[in-house]
Amino acid sequence: MKDVKEACKVALVQAEPVMFDKKASLAKALRLIDEAAPRRPDLIVFPELFIPGYPIGMSFGFSMSKRTEDGRRDWKRYYDASVIEGGPEFDALAERARRTGAYISLGFSERDAVSGTLYNSNVVFEPDGSHKVHRKLKPTGSERTVWGDANRGYFPISETPWGPMGGLICWESYMPLARVALYQRGVTIYLAPNTNDNPEWQATVQHIAIEGKCYVINADMIVRRSSYPSGLHEEDAISRLPETVCRGGSCVIDPYGHYVTEPVWDEETIAYADLDMSLPAACKMEHDAVGHYARPDVLELVVREG
C-alpha cells in the first residue's frame, strides 16, 4: 500500500430527495453541499438515487408478460427526471467540487444519451471537477423493470490522498466477487450508497468493513409517503405505504467493524466523521483478504473491465 494522508474528514448526507424532480433534487444537493462546506470536509457522500429519488413501492405497471399504459406514463415521467452524464446537473456538481475542494459522491438515475435505457448509477466528482460514473451491475428484483444492467463503469476507482476509493450500490454489496474486485484495487474507503433501512443491512456493512479492512460510508436516505408527487397513476399502491417509507440508518464504520458515527434514523441530517487513515493498513496485520490471507494458487478472480 502507498503512503496516505492519515486524516480524512467526511460529511455524510442523509436527506430526502425531491421525488421525480431532478431540478429540485439537484438544488437540494447543492444546498446541502454548501451547508457542509464550512466544516471543510474532504469527502461529501449522498445516498443512492438522490436525483430524482428512489420510487419505493411502485411497479410502473409491470407484471409477468403484462404492462399498462398508466405505468408507461409514470416510467416516462421518471425517465424525464433522470440525468444524462455530462449534462447541466454534472456541470453544477463539478463546480461545487471545485469550490469546496472536496470529493462528492452522489447517486442518480442515469439516462443514456443514445439509448432509452436508464441505469442506477453513482458519480464521484473529484476536487478538480473531473468525475467517474459507476453503473449498478445488476438491478435488484423488480428494479430490473426500471434500470438496465451496467454495460460500462464496472469498478471505477478514485485515487485519493487517503488511498483508493470505490463503491457498490445497495445490494451490489451482496455480490461477493464484486466486493473482492474492489478489495483487489486496495480500497481504503468503500462507498455504500443504498436504500436499506433494515437491521440486517447494518450487519452487512459492518462485515464489509472487517472483511475489506476499509472504512465503509453507509449512505441511506429518508423517504416519506408524502414525498411522492401528485399525478402518479399508482396512487393506491403509494397510499398503502407507511408514512415513513425509508428510515435512513446512515453511518460510518471503521475497519474493525465499529461505528465511527452511529446510525441515524428518521431524520434528515449531515453526519461528520474524522477518519484515521492509518487503520486500513494496520488492520491487515492479521487478515488481508487479497494478500497474505488469500490463496491465489487455489482461488482466482478474473474481472472484465467495461
- The answer to whether the CB of 246 falls within 8 A of the CB of 252 is no
Show the cell assigned to 242. 407507511
Contact, 134 vs 79, CB < 8 A? no
Which of 79, 160, 169 has the alpha carbon at shortest distance from 122? 169
DSSP code string of 248-266: EEEEEE-TTS-EEEEEEES
The reply to whether 143 belongs to the active site is no
Q: How far are the Cα atoms of 31, 197, 225 from residue 102, in angstroms, in the given order?
A: 15, 27, 33
Set of cell numbers at residue 70: 398508466
> 52 and 20 in contact (C-beta within 8 Å)?
yes
Q: Which one is catalytic: 170, 214, 246, 251?
A: 170
Residue 279 CA, chain-centre distance (Å), reads 23
Sheet with 131-135, strands from edge to edge, namely 131-135, 118-125, 103-111, 43-45, 7-14, 269-276
CB contact at 8 A, 250 and 11: no
Bond from prior residue into 156 cis (ω within 30 degrees of 0): no
Amino acid identity at 15: A
Specify whether 48 is catalytic.
Answer: yes
Catalytic-labelled residue, pool 16, 48, 126, 211: 48
Calpha distance 203→187 (Å, rounded): 20
The yes-or-no answer on residue 136 being catalytic is yes
User: For 35, phi and psi rounded to 5 degrees?
Assistant: -65, -40
Q: By CB neighbour count within 10 A (0-12 exposed, 13-18 middle, 19+ buried), where does 296 fall?
A: exposed
> Which residues have a catalytic role annotated?
48, 136, 170
